[in-house]
Structure 1
């Protein structure tokens, strides 16, 4: 069952929809604002997001854009009591999976969620097939020469679906993608796949998310809630950033692994779970054990099968091939960009590479992506600080064109060459952006 995020500032609607989907067997969470919705999506990676068009801190279309940028596989359905044809058309153009008007027909909504999740799943499978045809099976995790047997390890982990798996690697190396691949290749593929980021929640909330809670177990526990281990059933439970798991929860997780049994927070009944456990961390667990922040017995129980993902800088020769597989549709790499890609250290690994290519493809505007579009610094050099200020695409384009004109003394032909676009395209952009000169 696809997991669902409901972003709506109306508490009654939000809680009703969360409860509705939970009763159907979905993992469902709510958020009252766009900011909270983005945080919850980052922590739990839902399959489908239901977003109200009018939120107190952002327009629903803006949140749609942000969520799609952060989570390309996320299906977003917009909900509104103020729908009109123009908004619906714009929403679909921006990538919305569907557009529904309030009051919501719950049966129609459930069908829309299932349909959107299925389309997203098919899109992921199609992307994998295309990657295989291009000779790059691991477009997300980059199985390359320093780790030639990654595919074999994933297959081994998938077949032996009772053994815990520990996936280690720096941020952005694709640990979550490996976990998902193990699940989708295993006999449990038709069962639920649920995940939790241990670093994003407090000890009490992590315990509640994992094991569930009974009504009245704590102040805000207004009703009983199933934990993710219970929801996972005979599927897969993925714990990301497991090194951040609180000392209070670690022994309870160990017991759940060894006995396949647990109790809800505040409960007395013993529940069972046959879920397969996959955990990931960017922190060496052996070091965490040495510091005393992670239990040695839990560490030994988790490392039955360990899959280590090397960073991109350890396999520079494979970066151009990986970049070709990750390019946005229609984008092309200029030959001069290959050396720039290899020379950069990629501290954010594959995630950073994908975002850099996306940004560069926008700046290239249909022309081959050149080093200027990538804006990278060689390994060992100080990187140019990147502003965290959110800006519009038009403003980013305006700044790029202004910088090109300044560097060429206002020569439009040379500026167009620097930007990697035709002179006629530059002139059109100058008229549209109302830039002088």
Structure 2
């Protein structure tokens, strides 16, 4: 990718000379004559390197250096000065400048300084991105999946420009699958960005997705990059895509078909090199028939469709999947296998993981048994249910005797989890179902560690 550079200098001759020189190198150049304009362009375009004159008509160049570093800590800043002294140089470095060059500076020297600074910036950004990917995807990479499903993931990964539609109930692991597709694709080194289309108000969703220009609406005091720009070169996951607001649907269709979009309030077309993965627990065909979703967008999204069956329909996969989801050092007793297979798992993989982690805590290093799983007894087969019932009357857990009675805090946790699952994570609707205030629900979600 070409280097992106911002030049902030009030001298038009210097500004235009540097602009023409960098453009001759096929670099992306943005020019500003004031500190205010320079900060706006930096926020809008996220350059690799900024060249800042020490004296500007509306601000001290060092103040601009400090502001730019606060806005983007990874931005490399080169300071130009015709009258720099040692104290100024020291202060510039302390504020985060990568180098201070004295005017007049030879263009080949400046080119080398910019190239080296840009290389360091990209290395830092790539390292940061790789660390985030490692943290975010360690669990996903180790989750077991059947060979037939892995072949579908590999097919989707190889075709890195084709939209993918993931269908499945809540908790079936659509986000994990999307990440796995991204990580195995040629786009793996670029960002993976996800947005839940049902979690934002319609007025905010377009701004989050496409970005906005300064003054596009009342609170738009500065321009903002949208997720399409942040995910440049990578993958954008649109979760709960059936809830995508009608106004955004034709814009998304244009992104998929032509690779262009406009920010909210903007007129300039922008290129978008992004792979779209859409996920939903609602049949999109139903949304099309009801007039809530565009048919042409539906046809474009379903080029490659992967359906994730609910866990209750994949009983042979539950035990190997559970073993891959266990916390490090935890293990399942043989008696727990029947309990896991016999339960319906309405919350699918998400519920399975939560149950296993809670059980591992209760087992405290011992093999996990049906008692630790604490699944509803009627879901167990006769022999396992009898064994669990007998064990429950005699097995102490954290100083209590478990006798088939669900602790109040666990009942509350399950009720809240069920409500959130039933409403697709919409906390306002979940609170209404539970008959409590939204603020009360938010407090309980934080206290119980639910997400």
Q: Deviations over 1:92-111 (max 9, x none)?
A: xxxxxxxxxxxx9879xx99
Q: Secondary structure at the match of 2:293?
A: coil
Q: What is the RMSD computed on CA atoms of the aligned residues?
A: 3.2
Listed as ranges, the matches of 1:84-103 within 5 Å are none
On the 8 A contact 2:129/2:191 being kept in 1, the answer is no
Q: Distance in 2 between matches of 1:251 and 1:368?
A: 54
1:236 alignment partner in structure 2: 235
In 2 relative to 1, CA 120–271 (structure 1 residues): closer, same or farther, beyond 3 Å?
A: closer
Q: Which runs of 5+ in 2 are unaligned?
A: 1-40, 49-93, 98-120, 381-395, 406-451
On the 8 A contact 2:167/2:280 being kept in 1, the answer is yes
1:251 alignment partner in structure 2: 250
Give the superposition deviation at 1:256: 2.1
Question: TM-score, normalised to structure 1's length?
Answer: 0.58
Q: Secondary structure at the match of 2:167?
A: strand
On the 8 A contact 1:194/1:237 being kept in 2, the answer is yes
Q: Secondary structure at the match of 1:249?
A: helix
2:113 alignment partner in structure 1: none
In 2 relative to 1, CA 345–241 (structure 1 residues): closer, same or farther, beyond 3 Å?
A: same
Give the superposition deviation at 1:404: 3.5
In 2 relative to 1, CA 255–333 (structure 1 residues): closer, same or farther, beyond 3 Å?
A: same
User: Which of 1 and 2 has greater Rg?
Assistant: 2
In 2 relative to 1, CA 349–105 (structure 1 residues): closer, same or farther, beyond 3 Å?
A: farther
Give the superposition deviation at 1:143: 2.7
Q: Distance in 2 between matches of 1:326 and 1:151?
A: 17
Q: Distance in 1 between matches of 2:284 and 2:270?
A: 29
On the 8 A contact 2:137/2:179 being kept in 1, the answer is no
2:133 alignment partner in structure 1: 121
In 2 relative to 1, CA 106–339 (structure 1 residues): closer, same or farther, beyond 3 Å?
A: farther
On the 8 A contact 1:25/1:231 being kept in 2, the answer is no
Q: Say yes or no: does 1:170 pair with 2:169.
A: yes
Question: TM-score, normalised to structure 2's length?
Answer: 0.57
On the 8 A contact 1:213/1:221 being kept in 2, the answer is yes
1:361 alignment partner in structure 2: 360
On the 8 A contact 2:140/2:179 being kept in 1, the answer is no
Q: Distance in 1 between matches of 2:157 and 2:304?
A: 11
In 2 relative to 1, CA 154–377 (structure 1 residues): closer, same or farther, beyond 3 Å?
A: same
Return structure 1 stretches of 4+ with deviation > 6 angstroms.
Answer: 19-23, 104-107, 110-116
Q: Say yes or no: does 1:401 pair with 2:399.
A: yes
On the 8 A contact 2:288/2:295 being kept in 1, the answer is yes
Give the superposition deviation at 1:156: 1.2
On the 8 A contact 1:158/1:186 being kept in 2, the answer is yes
In 2 relative to 1, CA 259–22 (structure 1 residues): closer, same or farther, beyond 3 Å?
A: closer
On the 8 A contact 1:345/1:379 being kept in 2, the answer is no
Q: Distance in 1 between matches of 2:312 and 2:47?
A: 42
In 2 relative to 1, CA 195–120 (structure 1 residues): closer, same or farther, beyond 3 Å?
A: closer
Give the superposition deviation at 1:296: 0.9
Give the superposition deviation at 1:172: 1.1
Q: Distance in 2 between matches of 1:25 and 1:310?
A: 44
Q: Distance in 1 between matches of 2:326 and 2:398?
A: 21
Q: Which runs of 5+ in 1 are unaligned?
A: 1-18, 27-103, 132-138, 382-397, 408-437
